[in-house]
Amino acid sequence: MSGVFDISVMTDFAASHIIHGHPGKCARLHGHNWKVEACVRISSDSLNEIGIGIDFKDLKIILREVVDVLEHRHLNDIKPFDKINPTAENVSKWIYSELSRLLLEKNIQASVQFLALWENDRSCVKYSEK
């Protein structure tokens, strides 16, 4: 019987943003030490000869490649957030899409299950397309 493995890694980045149109403090320039959790799914049939589907280290490197674009930046200055509000929802969707694109580009047989983005220890958004 064939099963699946869900593999998760976490990273972080620091960035500022302004949420245009927000009725409160978030309409002002502010920043976060964002945490990112990415979960990918692989088939148990795709394990390599030593029993690994995707090495945690390799997945962290790919996720880091995505978030390095955001690291120590003002999100409103980065495409596509120069046109759309850099809300946690929009940023999580963008990271999800970029991670999915890189996995495909690198021919890694893994699909992103969800992307969780934390603005702080108490506030998180999860994005998925499944």
Q: pLDDT at position 46, please?
A: 87
How confident is the model over 46-104, as pLDDT tens digits?
A: 899 999 999 999 999 999 999 999 999 999 999 999 999 999 999 999 999 999 999 99
Q: What is the pLDDT of residue 2?
A: 81
Question: What is the full DSSP assignment across 40-89?
Answer: EEEEGGG--TTS-SS-HHHHHHHHHHHHTTTTTEEGGGSTTTTTS---HH
Whether the predicted pLDDT of 1 surpasses 70: no
User: What is residue 116's predicted lDDT score, i.e. its pLDDT?
Assistant: 98
Query: Which pLDDT value is given to residue 49?
Result: 93
The DSSP bridge partners found for residue 124 are: 118
Helices (H), the chain: 56-67, 88-105
pLDDT digits over 3-40, tens only? 999 999 999 999 999 999 999 999 999 999 999 999 99
CA atoms of 36 and 63, how far apart (whole Å): 9
Tokens describing residue 18: 């302004």
- Token output for 117: 């983005």
**DSSP assignment of 12-31:** EEEEEE--TT-SSGGGS-EE
110 pLDDT more than 70:
yes
pTM for the model = 0.95
- Rounded Cα distance between 130 and 126, Å, is 12
